[in-house]
């Protein structure tokens, strides 16, 4: 039976990614690509998620798939130094998403998000209610001075922004709310500094960027005109670019600082907007590529002007883009077939 990839996840600085499978989980270095850790199902069972704590020996694991050893309402922390689980968190419904950041562990359920101190003296700091959140949407900016969390709000298309650095002092934090879309939010991303939040709705045609302090919309980016499921949105570390991947296997790259690079509608260039103003005023990606298998993938910026795409079919792609929109594949591999060959 071929291995089934259940979940892919980049670590906080996008230098590693985890692959959760029916056969356990694996950890890979991104550049150069190398398998660094393989924990088989006899130890952890099949996994629905495995999330790294930066580049440390700690990995948050959630059961799931064909041969789960543990229920899906439990998060266990695997310590690869001691080759065993060292902490356990139990909830009253299935865990849909997990994030580990500096001194916090964040767990998203279908209608609740929990914040814990982590890894030392781990205890619950806060619980925040959301509207129905079947995707477990939750993102946190990795900046050390301010850890901003973005989760669905209480209304359709709404977003809550909460500074999780304050929840251990007050037990709660007054959220900033943004009305991002008219339909449910389906994908969220925060830049490294926590100053910009990007959202996409279940339609998947538009990506909207908002200032996290003023709540003002900064720009509207158009992925396409046909509906799609966005799996991933990521900022470059300096917020100069944004990449997004969908179920169509295409990764779009947008310019955020030099927005003149982005394409515009021919109608907008001619000054003819009329009833289609929302369509023509948005900016289109200046560069894109489609992975050969046209399957779902996670994307993130690599070294230089490059984007890494990790696909659920077990393939790895690295594309390099230029300001004129040219995009060419620089590297390709099948990460499920490689072994531990390069020093971590």
* pLDDT tens digits, one per residue of 274-293: 444 454 568 999 999 999 87
Q: Is the residue at 294 inside a domain?
A: no
Count of domains forming the chain: 1
Q: Which residues pair with 245 in a beta bridge?
A: 232, 251
- The answer to whether residue 1 scores a pLDDT higher than 50 is no
Which segments of 164-216 are extended strands (E)?
A: 176-179, 185-190, 196-201, 206-211
Taking residues 295-320, what's their average pLDDT?
96
Q: Is the residue at 48 inside a domain?
A: yes
Taking residues 54-64, what's their average pLDDT?
96
217-222 and 206-211 as β-strands: parallel, antiparallel, unpaired?
Answer: antiparallel
- The answer to whether residue 267 scores a pLDDT higher than 80 is no
Joined together, the tokens standing for residue 74 give 């439990």
The residues, ordered by sequence, that sit 6+ positions from 269 with a Cβ below 8 Å of its Cβ are: none
Q: Which residues pair with 104 in a beta bridge?
A: 101, 117
Q: Is the residue at 317 inside a domain?
A: no
Q: Is the residue at 14 inside a domain?
A: yes
Which residue range forms the structural domain that includes residue 44? 1-95
**pLDDT score of 343:** 47
Q: Is the residue at 335 inside a domain?
A: no
| Confidence (pTM) | 0.91
Q: Is the residue at 20 inside a domain?
A: yes
- The answer to whether residue 158 scores a pLDDT higher than 90 is yes
Choose between 269 and 305: higher pLDDT: 305
- The answer to whether residue 29 scores a pLDDT higher than 90 is yes
Q: Round to whole Å and give the CA distance between 146 and 260.
A: 30
**pLDDT score of 266:** 55
Q: Which residues pair with 318 in a beta bridge?
A: 308, 331
- The DSSP 8-state label assigned to residue 261 in this structure reads G
Q: Is the residue at 49 inside a domain?
A: yes
Q: Is the residue at 330 inside a domain?
A: no
Instruction: Specify burial of residue 42 (Cβ count, 10 A radius: 0-12, 13-18, 19+).
Output: exposed
**pLDDT score of 227:** 86
- Read out DSSP for 17-54? EEEEETTEEEEEETTTTEEEEEEEHHHHEEEEEEEE-T
- The answer to whether residue 174 scores a pLDDT higher than 80 is no
């Amino acid at each position: 039976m071929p291995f089934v990839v259940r979940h892919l996840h980049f670590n906080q600085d996008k230098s590693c990614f985890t692959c959760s499978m029916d056969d356990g989980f694996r950890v890979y270095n991104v550049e150069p690509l190398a398998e660094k850790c393989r924990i088989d199902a006899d130890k952890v069972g099949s996994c629905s998620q495995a999330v790294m704590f930066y580049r440390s020996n700690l990995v948050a694991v959630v059961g799931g798939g064909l041969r789960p050893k543990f229920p899906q309402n439990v998060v266990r922390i695997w310590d690869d130094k001691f080759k065993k689980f060292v902490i356990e968190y139990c909830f009253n419904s299935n865990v849909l998403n997990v994030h580990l950041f500096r001194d916090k562990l964040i767990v998203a359920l279908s209608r609740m998000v929990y914040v814990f101190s982590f890894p030392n003296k781990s205890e619950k700091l806060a619980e925040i209610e959301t509207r129905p959140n079947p995707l477990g949407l939750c993102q946190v900016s990795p900046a050390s001075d301010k850890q901003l969390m973005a989760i669905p709000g209480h209304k359709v298309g709404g977003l809550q922004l909460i500074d999780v650095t304050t929840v251990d002092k007050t037990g709660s934090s007054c959220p900033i709310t943004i009305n991002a879309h008219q339909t449910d939010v389906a994908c969220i991303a925060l830049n490294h500094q926590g100053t910009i939040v990007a959202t996409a709705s279940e339609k998947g045609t538009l990506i909207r960027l908002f200032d996290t302090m003023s709540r003002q919309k900064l720009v509207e980016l158009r992925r396409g005109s046909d509906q799609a499921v966005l799996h991933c949105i990521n900022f470059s570390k300096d917020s100069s670019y944004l990449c997004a991947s969908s179920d169509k296997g295409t990764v779009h790259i947008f310019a955020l600082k030099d927005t003149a690079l982005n394409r515009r509608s021919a109608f907008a260039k001619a000054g003819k907007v009329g009833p289609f103003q929302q369509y023509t005023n948005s900016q289109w990606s200046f560069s894109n590529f489609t992975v050969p298998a046209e399957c779902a993938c996670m994307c993130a910026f690599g070294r230089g002007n490059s984007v890494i795409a990790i696909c659920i079919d077990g393939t790895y792609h690295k594309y390099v883009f230029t300001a004129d929109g040219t995009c060419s594949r620089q590297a390709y591999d099948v990460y499920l077939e490689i072994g531990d060959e390069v020093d971590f």
